[in-house]
C-alpha cells in the first residue's frame, strides 16, 4: 500500500505539473501567428523593394562605365599611332566640363605650349564622387597616360545611398511623361546648354573621409606605375576648403585668378566662354610643364598656380 507521505517520483511530478499548467487557448495562438505574419509581410515587401531599387540604381550607372571605357579605348588606339602622343585624363564633376574646353581645343592650346600631340580625355559625372570613376581606373592605368588630373572636390564629395535611391525614383517617376530611361552620356560629357544637369541648382554634397583614402590609394598606384597625378581646384569653394589630414600633402593645382566658381553656361554666356578659355589655357600650361619636365624633378612635387603657368 503506497505511503501517502512519500513524495511522488520525478516523472509523476513532472506529468502532474504539465497537467496543472495553464493551456493557451488555440484561438490566442492563431491570433498571435496572424499578427506576426501581418507585421512580417510589410517588412518583407519593403526589404524586397529597397533591394530592387538599389540593384536598379547600380545598373543605371552601367552605361556611364561602358561609354567611358569605350572612350578610353578610343584614345588608346589614337595614341598608339604616334610615338610622341601625350595622354592626359581628367576626372571631375560637371563643373570640370563647364570650366574646360573640349578635346580638340585643349589639343590646340597644348600645341601652343610645346605639347604637339596632346590627347586630353575629360571624364565627368553629375554630382560626382570618386567611387563613380573607380570602375575605369584599371583601364586608365593600363593605357599609361602621362598625367591624371582629379577634381579636388572628389577628395571629400559623397552622395550617399539615400540620394542615389531618390534620384533613381525620380527617373522612374518621369517615365510616364516620356522621358528616356537611360541618360544621354554624350550630353553629360560635352553639352553645356541650359537645362543640363550641370546648370541645375545643386544642393551641397556630403563629405566623406573615405573618399580621400580612395584618391590617395589610386595616386599611389599611379605613381608606382610612373604616372603623374595631381589634384585641380576647379571652382572656388564658398567656404574654406576642408582637406582631410590624409590628403594634406597631395599635389594641388590652384588658379589664383579663379573667382566665384566655374563658368556658368546659363548666365553671361560670353564671359563664361572667356573664363573657360582662360582656365583651359592655365591648365594647358600646367600640363606642358609636367610632361616636358625631367622625370626626377616632378615626382610627387606639390604644384601651385605659379608652377603651372606657361
253 has which bridge partners?
232
d(CA 88, CA 280): 13
pLDDT band at 102 (very low <50, low <70, confident <90, very high): very high
Instruction: Measure the CA–CA gap between 96 and 189, rounded to whole angstroms.
Output: 10
Instruction: Give the pLDDT mean for 110-122.
Output: 94
Q: How many domains does the chain have?
A: 1
Q: Which of 13-17, 42-46, 198-202, 294-298 has the highest mean pLDDT?
A: 42-46
Q: Evaluate whether residue 246 is within a structural domain.
A: yes
Please determine, for residue 172, whether its predicted confidence score (pLDDT) is greater than 80. Answer: no
What is the pLDDT averaged over residues 89-110?
94
Residue 66 lies in a domain: yes
Q: Give CA–CA dist 249/246, Å, rounded.
A: 8
Q: What DSSP character marks residue 23? A: P
Better pLDDT: 119 or 168: 119
Q: Which stretch of 5-9, 289-293, 300-304 has the lowest confidence by average pLDDT? A: 300-304
Cell of 293: 619636365
Strands of 252-254's sheet in order across: 118-125, 86-93, 147-151, 228-233, 252-254
Helix residue spans in the chain (DSSP H): 10-20, 26-60, 62-79, 94-99, 103-112, 134-142, 161-174, 185-190, 209-224, 269-292, 295-298, 305-308
pLDDT in the model for residue 55: 67
Backbone angles phi, psi at 207, to 5 degrees: -120, 140
Determine the Cα–Cα distance for residues 291 and 248; give it in Å rounded to an integer. Answer: 24
- pLDDT given at position 305: 41
CATH number of the domain where residue 192 is located: 3.40.50
- 10 Å Cβ neighbour count for 158? 17
pLDDT(283) > 50: yes
How many CA atoms lie less than 13 Å away from 27 in the CB half-sphere?
A: 0
* Confidence band, pLDDT 50/70/90 cuts, at residue 259: very low
3-state SS class at 162 = helix
Is the pLDDT at 86 greater than 60, yes or no? yes
C-alpha cell at 29: 495562438
Q: Over pLDDT 70: what percentage of the chain?
A: 60
Report which of 151, 159, 47 is spatially closest to residue 98, judged by C-alpha positions: 151
**158: pLDDT strictly greater than 70:** yes
pLDDT digits 0-9 by tens, 184-227: 999 999 987 543 334 344 555 556 668 899 999 999 999 999 99
- Is 15 inside any structural domain? no
The pLDDT-based confidence of 281 (bands split at 50, 70, 90) is: very high
Domain that holds residue 147: 61-159+183-308
Task: State pLDDT tens for residues 27-40.
Answer: 556 666 666 666 66
pLDDT at res. 183 = 86
> pLDDT-based confidence at 104, cuts 50/70/90?
very high
Q: Let me know if residue 170 belongs to a domain.
A: no
The answer, yes or no, to whether residue 260 has pLDDT greater than 50, is no
Q: Residues near 86 by Cβ (< 8 Å), separated by ≥ 6? A: 110, 115, 117, 118, 119, 146, 287, 291
Amino acid at each position: 500500500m503506497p505511503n501517502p507521505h512519500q513524495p511522488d517520483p520525478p516523472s509523476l511530478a513532472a506529468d502532474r505539473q504539465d497537467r496543472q499548467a495553464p493551456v493557451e487557448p488555440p484561438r490566442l495562438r492563431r491570433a498571435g501567428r496572424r499578427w506576426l505574419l501581418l507585421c512580417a509581410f510589410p517588412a518583407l515587401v519593403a526589404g524586397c523593394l529597397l533591394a530592387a531599387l538599389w540593384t536598379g540604381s547600380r545598373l543605371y550607372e552601367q552605361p556611364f562605365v561602358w561609354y567611358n571605357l569605350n572612350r578610353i579605348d578610343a584614345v588608346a588606339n589614337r595614341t598608339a599611332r604616334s610615338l610622341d602622343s601625350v595622354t592626359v585624363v581628367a576626372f571631375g564633376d560637371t563643373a570640370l566640363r563647364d570650366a574646360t574646353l573640349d578635346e580638340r581645343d585643349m589639343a590646340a592650346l597644348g600645341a601652343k605650349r610645346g605639347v604637339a600631340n596632346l590627347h586630353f580625355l575629360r571624364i565627368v559625372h553629375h554630382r560626382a564622387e570618386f567611387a563613380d570613376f573607380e570602375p575605369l581606373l584599371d583601364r586608365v592605368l593600363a593605357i599609361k597616360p602621362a598625367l591624371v588630373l582629379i577634381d579636388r572636390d572628389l577628395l571629400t564629395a559623397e552622395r550617399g545611398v539615400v540620394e542615389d535611391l531618390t534620384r533613381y525614383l525620380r527617373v522612374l517617376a518621369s517615365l510616364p511623361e516620356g522621358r528616356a530611361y537611360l541618360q544621354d552620356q554624350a550630353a553629360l560629357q560635352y553639352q553645356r546648354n541650359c537645362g543640363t544637369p550641370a546648370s541645375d541648382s545643386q544642393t551641397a554634397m556630403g563629405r566623406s573621409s573615405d573618399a580621400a583614402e580612395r584618391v590617395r590609394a589610386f595616386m599611389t598606384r599611379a605613381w608606382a606605375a610612373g604616372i603623374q597625378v595631381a589634384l585641380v581646384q576647379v571652382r572656388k569653394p564658398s567656404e574654406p576648403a576642408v582637406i582631410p589630414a590624409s590628403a594634406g600633402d597631395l599635389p594641388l593645382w590652384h588658379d589664383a585668378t579663379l573667382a566665384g566658381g566655374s563658368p556658368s553656361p546659363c548666365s553671361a554666356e560670353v564671359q563664361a566662354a572667356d573664363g573657360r578659355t582662360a582656365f583651359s589655357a592655365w591648365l594647358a600650361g600646367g600640363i606642358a610643364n609636367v610632361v616636358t619636365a625631367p622625370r626626377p624633378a616632378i615626382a610627387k612635387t606639390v604644384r601651385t598656380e605659379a608652377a603651372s603657368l606657361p
